[in-house]
């Protein structure tokens, strides 16, 4: 090791899902939306002023913040935006998890949380999910330096009832509670309204999943004005211009087409429910998912072997070589046609065993 390396901030990075690029692939590995963004987004892309790209974007991202405020009927000062919800969450970890007590999150959850905790030197303690993959709310009642969990949880897809979230909030008036709602639009109930009641709550959402805009990187958070101001202060101390001009314009545009949004989300929910039935018939088991993925296991198959067999066919799903979940696969809900390709393969795979 060189001398200078002693001063390096070393981190174990997050491993994102693969982004292969085969024309025939069925890509069900990163929870992307299989449908295109709202048609107005394409129209707006064509209308965008190329000449304006020489200018910095508005540091307050006003166009998008105001569009979100109108859409959700909230005050613009209750909204923070960032480069995907990863950026919003990272900024929130940096800002709010600055105490000595450990931050609490589930042992099976979004695998970026422990990475940010490592990066920012935040002490943390994982709370085991119950066998059925539900979160035991009482595990979050002890002294802590903050609480964070996705709802629905990832990669399990399991939703926590809003009443349980409120119980967690009531037991945590002295620390910040972050609810990561990346998948909330696929049938979950949002905790967004609770920000009026709890000044220590931050609810984070994204355009990456339900609005088909993962490629643009747009995330946002709701909170009381004070909590949002703290986030802004950290952001302006880090990078004033996080959101680029196209993202601001296209994000605001996407919010205008409510009918398209509902239609797309409903299609994915219908495909999910149909896929659940077929997977169950094939002998897979899974917790009930309220997201755009299903986390499955099979008594007769090794998840890793199945993952490799699928990959050979250019069908991509997600496998995590981690304790408790190393015999599971996370399957993103694609179009009906994509799911049919997957299900046909699984049927053949089962017969050949
Ligand atoms: N939270 C959870 C639970 C996720 O699964 C993801 C997607 N990887 C994110 C946040 C981040 O999504 P994005 O940065 O695209 O908004």
Residue 152 confidence (pLDDT) above 90: yes
User: To test the ligand 1 pocket, which listed residue (80, 88, 112) has its Cβ within 8 A of the most ligand atoms?
Assistant: 112
Answer yes or no: are the C-beta atoms of 171 and 253 closer than 8 Å. Answer: no
Q: Is residue 134, in this structure, part of any structural domain at all?
A: yes
User: What CATH code is carried by the domain that includes residue 165?
Assistant: 3.40.640.10
| Stretch 327-343: mean pLDDT | 98
Averaged pLDDT for residues 259-276: 98
Pairing of strands 124-127, 103-106: parallel
> Which CATH number belongs to the domain containing residue 337 in this structure?
3.90.1150.10
**Alpha carbon of 85 to ligand 1 centroid (Å):** 6
Atom of ligand 1 lying closest to residue 219 CA: 16
If asked whether residues 213 and 310 sit together in one domain, one would say no
User: What pLDDT does 335 receive?
Assistant: 98
Least confident of 11-15, 63-67, 112-116, 149-153: 11-15
Asked whether residue 126 falls in the same domain as residue 172, the answer is yes
Nearest to 88 by CA among 76, 79, 98, 77: 79
pLDDT of 353 above 90:
no
Are both 220 and 343 inside the same structural domain? no
Q: Which of 211, 239, 254 is the last residue of a domain?
A: 254
Q: Please identify, among 254, 283, 312, the residue that sits at the C-terminal boundary of a domain.
A: 254
Q: Can you tell me the distance from the alpha carbon of 223 to that of 186, in angstroms, rounded to the nearest whole number? A: 22
> What atom of ligand 1 comes closest to residue 208's alpha carbon?
15
Same domain, 59 and 191: yes
Least confident segment among 18-22, 38-42, 122-126: 18-22
Domain-located, residue 43: no
How confident is the model over 318-329, as pLDDT tens digits? 999 999 999 999
Q: Are residue 216 and residue 346 in the same domain, yes or no?
A: no
For residue 42, being part of any structural domain is answered with: no
State the SS3 of the chain. Answer: CCHHHHHCCCCCCCCCCCCCCCCCCEECCCCCCCCCCCHHHHHHHHHCCHHHHHCCCCCCCHHHHHHHHHHHCCCHHHEEEECHHHHHHHHHHHHHCCCCCCEEEECCCCCCHHHHHHHCCCCEEEECCCCCCCCCHHHHCCCCCCEEEECCCCCCCCCCCHHHHHHHHHCCCCCCEEEECCCHHHCCCCCHHHHHCCCCEEEEEECCCCCCCCCCCCEEEECCHHHHHHHHHHHHCCCCCCCCHHHHHHHHHHCCCHHHHHHHHHHHHHHHHHHHHHHHHCCCEECCCCCCEEEEECCCCCHHHHHHHHHHCCEECEECCCCCCCCCEEEECCCHHHHHHHHHHHHHHHHCC
In terms of domains, do 294 and 181 share one?
no
Within this chain, do residues 59 and 186 fall inside the same structural domain, yes or no? yes
Domain residue limits at 64 = 49-254
> Do both 266 and 237 map to the same domain?
no
In a domain, 137, yes or no: yes
- Say if residue 91 is in the same domain as residue 202: yes
Could you say which of 254, 285, 311 is where a domain stops? 254
Phi and psi angles of residue 350, each rounded to the nearest 5 degrees, phi first: -65, -40
Instruction: Tell me, yes or no, whether 44 lies in a domain.
Output: no
Cα(182) to centroid(ligand 1), Å: 6
Q: In this structure, are 196 and 341 located in the same domain?
A: no
Q: How far is the CA of 193 from the centre of ligand 1 (A)?
A: 21
**Total structural domains in the chain?**
2
Convert the pLDDT of each residue in 173-221 to its tens digit.
999 999 999 999 999 999 999 999 999 999 999 999 999 999 999 999 9
Tell me: do 292 and 221 sit in the same domain.
Answer: no
Q: Which atom of ligand 1 is nearest to the CA of 85?
A: 16
Mean pLDDT for all residues in the chain: 97
Task: Tell me if 135 is assigned to some domain.
Answer: yes
As a whole number of angstroms, the distance between CA 32 and CA 124 comes to 29
Per the domain annotation, does 230 fall within a domain? yes
In a domain, 211, yes or no: yes
């Amino acid at each position: 090791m060189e001398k200078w390396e002693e001063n390096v901030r070393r981190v174990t990075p997050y491993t994102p899902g693969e982004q292969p690029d085969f024309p025939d692939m069925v890509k069900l590995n990163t929870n992307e939306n299989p449908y295109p963004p709202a048609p107005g987004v394409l129209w707006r892309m064509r209308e965008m002023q190329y000449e304006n790209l020489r200018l910095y974007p508005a540091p307050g991202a006003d166009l998008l913040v105001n569009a979100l405020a109108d859409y959700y009927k909230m005050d613009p000062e209750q909204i923070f935006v960032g480069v995907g919800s990863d950026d919003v969450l990272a900024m929130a970890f940096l800002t709010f998890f600055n105490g000595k007590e450990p931050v609490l999150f589930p042992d099976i959850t979004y695998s970026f949380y422990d990475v940010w905790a490592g990066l920012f030197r935040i002490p943390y303690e994982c709370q085991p999910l119950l066998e059925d993959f539900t979160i035991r709310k009482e595990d979050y009642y002890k002294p802590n330096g903050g609480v964070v969990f996705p709802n629905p949880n990832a990669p399990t897809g399991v939703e926590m009832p809003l009443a349980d979230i409120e119980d967690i909030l009531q037991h945590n008036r002295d620390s910040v509670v972050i609810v990561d709602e990346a998948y909330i639009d696929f049938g979950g109930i949002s905790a967004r309204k609770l920000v009026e009641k709890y000044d220590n709550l931050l609810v984070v959402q994204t355009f990456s999943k339900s609005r088909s805009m993962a490629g643009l990187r747009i995330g946002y958070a709701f909170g009381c004005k004070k909590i949002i101001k703290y986030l802004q202060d950290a952001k302006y101390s880090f990078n004033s211009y996080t959101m680029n001009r196209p993202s601001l314009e296209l994000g605001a545009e996407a919010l205008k087409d409510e009918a398209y949004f509902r239609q797309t989300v409903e299609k994915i929910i219908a495909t999910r429910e149909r896929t659940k039935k077929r997977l169950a018939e094939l002998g897979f088991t899974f917790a009930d998912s309220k997201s755009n993925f299903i986390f499955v296991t099979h008594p007769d198959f090794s998840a890793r072997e199945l993952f490799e067999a699928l990959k050979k066919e250019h069908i991509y799903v997600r496998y995590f070589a981690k304790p408790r979940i190393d015999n599971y696969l996370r399957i993103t809900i694609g179009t009906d046609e994509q799911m049919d390709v997957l299900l046909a393969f699984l049927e053949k795979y089962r017969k050949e065993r």
